[in-house]
Amino acid sequence: MSIVDARLDKALKDPASDPELKVEISAYEPTDEEKDARSRVLRDFALGYQTMYRPRQEFNDLSLLQRDQVDSMAFNTYQPNNGEPAAGDTANSWRSNAIRPIERNKCISMAGHTAERLGFLRLQATDEDSTPNDDAAILMNGLLDWARYTYFPEEWWLHAVLQSEVSPACIIHQEYREVFRRQKTTRGKDGKWNYEDKLDEANSGFIGTIVPTDQIYIENIFEKDIQKQRFVIWRRVQSHDQLKAKYGSSKNWQYVRKGMQLLFNDANQGFYYAYDPNLRSELGEEVLYWSKDDGGLQLAIVNGVLMTEPDAKLVREDGLYPFAKWFYSWIRDNFFYGKSLSFSVSHDANIINTLYPVLVDGAILDTMKPMKYIGQDVIGSDVIIPGQTISLQDQNGKLEPVLPPLQTGNLLAAMSQVEKSLTETANTQILPKSRSTAYEMSVVEKDMQSQLAPFTSELIGASIQLTRLVLGDILQYCTIGDISAIKGAKSALKYKTFLVDIKGNKTRAKRRRIKFETLPKMDDSEKLKASYDLLEEQGGPNADTELIKADPKAIRKLKYSMIMSEDVLRPKSDALKFQENLATLDKVIALESSRPGLNNLEEVAKKLLYSTNPVTARDPEKFINKQQPGQMSPMDMIGKGMGSPGRQMTDVAPPASPEPPAIQERFNQG
């Protein structure tokens, strides 16, 4: 039940019609602005409610709510009464109710193939004149990596992909929040606890919530883009204590009653409480409302009581709804919801699950055949026991099977055809292990990508939406000063600092520390001196932790766009990249044997050999000796056929000390 449920409205107008729903008068007297805001939310909520519960031919004449429930039950291999026979039905209790978890297996396998295609995209930064700023791009990509590895574990991405496979849509609510909880610290002299508000790390930061499809209400089901909806409503039921912790400071919280909805009576223009039996005394209904009308509006209602200001603006500075939405498969042009993988394979799965029990029942009947006795004796079914000895008086009596031998050929052939149809609908076959060469692997991967293209294109669109939302949160919350850290009138504004693990092999540093602070305007000479000061603060050019300082105001002024490269649209697996590198290395060595000196074998070894192993990829210089005068380098020996990358080299001089780079000399000179 909900605040827009017709049963509550009927009980308000005629309390005697439904004695279960007790009605009480309320002391709540909202302002005209609060009445208008509340009426607006309820009006739009009713429209979204109709969209949720209206049957549609796109869902096989089910409503969105029913389609979501049916698809979820299919994924969870739901069976009435857990597949057990009805009590007392002895005649049919032997029959098999077994089903094959086809929908579940297909969804899990597909998620395993495609989960890595969902993630944050790389950014490029430009100024107002579209001039690239590579340093800012490195910084923002580092912050995106920090947000991902801190707040978005791998299981989150997997669950997001699975949600789109078992529901008409996967909807993500993304927000940055800081939650403080009251915690006990020390006891006072009177024996009572002292309390302090501390940041709740588990519920703070970049929080991405996978929202159940039946909790989101929209206006127009024929608009695919969630950002183009006139309004978005998130309705959910939470505990009263949790809602109190969230809205307890609101001036209207005092009017929220446990388990009761606040309703408006048009007859006498008054507000009343109606008991909601679905909420019980410990639950409450939270309705969150977003709209881009009138410059943006974001409201919250608990049990019918407005918790926010009636004209509260959107929290996000970028003006976006805090939602990303995608689905598994297209149904029709510009339709908000899609066809889940469970729905797509359900027709074939129903056929198999109709034939499968027949096959099991036939095997049981063929193994334990029902028999008929022809003769004068009377044999009860209770004496057909293994090892049992019985005596018969009729010498001509005989025992014969009632049914002919089991014929499974047609049954297995039908199931085989349905299995092929399932593979055509959702091909989740793994790559053949026999494929070893780079060309063969590329052909197989290309074929697999073609079959998965419709779903992976949706995941790319989802990645764009998630990247845009998290980028907005970073610019809005990570580049602002911490006012609570200011102590004294002359204290400078303190900004956040982030430590990011560096992925890839483009730098020797293992980590990157990003530090925001207000930087003064500098000329070229001052910038050069500041760069050396930064290098010294970092600990030299070979430090494990790379230091980046940036002015947050300058970062917020730049424009950021996502890079849609070939690696994003059609990424290659690590195994394929490894095989391609080794294949190129073999060709270079063969070419060097016929024409010595043509190739820079040291660079070839760095990029094609050492880059294939994460241990050597970070700093390949450590694994290559500097050539001494008159000495043949190991790579020259490989090029002349005197050695190979897979065989240990002998009679090689000990490594010489590497020559310091030019920047190292200037650093040493101060």
State pLDDT tens for residues 2-51: 777 776 777 666 666 666 677 778 888 888 899 999 999 999 999 999 99
What is the structure's pLDDT at 544?
A: 74
Which residue did the predictor score with more confidence, 257 or 603?
257
Q: Is the model's pLDDT at 661 over the cut of 60?
A: no
pLDDT at 67 over 90: yes
**CA-CA distance, 211 to 236, in Å (whole number)?**
10
Specify burial of residue 473 (Cβ count, 10 A radius: 0-12, 13-18, 19+): buried
Residue 330 scores a pLDDT above 50: yes
Query: Which structure tokens are listed for 398?
Result: 């005989």
201 compared with 92, residue with greater pLDDT: 201
For range 617-646, the mean pLDDT: 57
Query: Residue 493: is its pLDDT beyond 70?
Result: no
d(CA 85, CA 357): 13
Question: Rounded mean pLDDT of 173-178?
Answer: 93
Q: Which residue has the higher pLDDT, 433 or 150?
A: 150
**Minimum mean pLDDT among 155-164, 189-198, 445-454, 614-623: which range?**
445-454
- Higher pLDDT residue, 549 or 574? 549
What SS3 state is found at 223? coil
d(CA 23, CA 313): 34
How many secondary structure helices (H) and strands (E) does the chain include? 19, 20
Could you tell me which residue, 94 or 236, shows the higher pLDDT?
236
Q: Residue 636: pLDDT band by 50, 70, 90 thresholds?
A: low
pLDDT value of position 664: 44
Measure the CA–CA gap between 284 and 256, rounded to whole angstroms: 9
pLDDT surpassing 60 at residue 576: yes
* pLDDT tens-digit map of 418-428: 777 777 676 66
**What is residue 396's predicted lDDT score, i.e. its pLDDT?**
78
Averaged pLDDT of the chain: 79
Confidence check: pLDDT of 362 > 60: yes
Cα separation, 86 vs 80, whole angstroms: 10
pLDDT, residue 1, reads: 59
pLDDT at 175: 94
Residues 636-663, mean pLDDT to the nearest whole number = 42
Instruction: Tell me which residue of 543, 566, 556, 526 sits closest to 139, measured CA to CA.
Output: 556
- Please answer whether residues 174 and 322 qualify as being in contact, where contact means their C-beta atoms are separated by less than 8 angstroms: yes
pLDDT, position 507: 62
Residues 6+ apart with CB under 8 A from 121: 463, 464, 467, 562, 563, 564, 568
- Confidence category of residue 176, pLDDT binned at 50, 70, 90: very high
Average pLDDT over residues 637-650: 43
> What is the average pLDDT across 247-254?
91
Confidence at 130, pLDDT banded by 50, 70, 90: confident
Q: How confident is the model at residue 637 (pLDDT cuts 50, 70, 90)?
A: low
Supply the pLDDT for residue 626.
66
Q: What pLDDT does 575 receive? A: 66
Choice between 167 and 21, residue whose per-residue pLDDT is larger: 167
Q: What is the pLDDT of residue 583?
A: 77
Q: Which of 489, 482, 356, 494 is nearest to 416 (CA)?
A: 356
Lowest mean pLDDT among 12-21, 310-319, 642-651: 642-651
Average pLDDT value for residue range 186-212: 90
pTM, two decimals, is 0.77
Tokens matching residue 72 = 């979820």
CA distance 523 to 161: 50
Residue scoring higher pLDDT (104 or 485) = 104
| Separation in Å, CA 590 to CA 594, 596, 645 | 7, 10, 13
| In the predicted structure, residue 232 carries a pLDDT above the cut 80 | yes
Whether pLDDT at 303 is above 50: yes
More confident: 10 or 67 = 67
Per-residue pLDDT, averaged over 200-220, amounts to: 92
User: For 101-113, what is the mean pLDDT?
Assistant: 86
User: Please, which pLDDT band fits residue 564 given cuts at 50, 70 and 90?
Assistant: confident
| Minimum mean pLDDT range among 70-84, 226-240, 637-651 | 637-651
List beta partners, residue 549: 515
Which band of pLDDT confidence, cut at 50, 70 and 90, is reported for residue 506?
A: low
> What is the predicted pLDDT for the residue at 338?
94
User: Which among 120-124, 478-482, 593-597, 646-650 has the top mean pLDDT?
Assistant: 120-124
Mean pLDDT on 248-257: 90
- Tell me the pLDDT tens digit for each residue of 364-399: 777 777 777 788 777 776 656 666 677 777 777 777
Quote the pLDDT of residue 489.
44
- pLDDT band of 574, cuts 50, 70, 90: low
Per-residue pLDDT tens over the stretch 431-464: 555 455 555 555 555 555 555 667 888 899 999 9
How many C-alpha atoms does 321 have within 13 Å on its Cβ side?
25
Average pLDDT over residues 145-170: 93
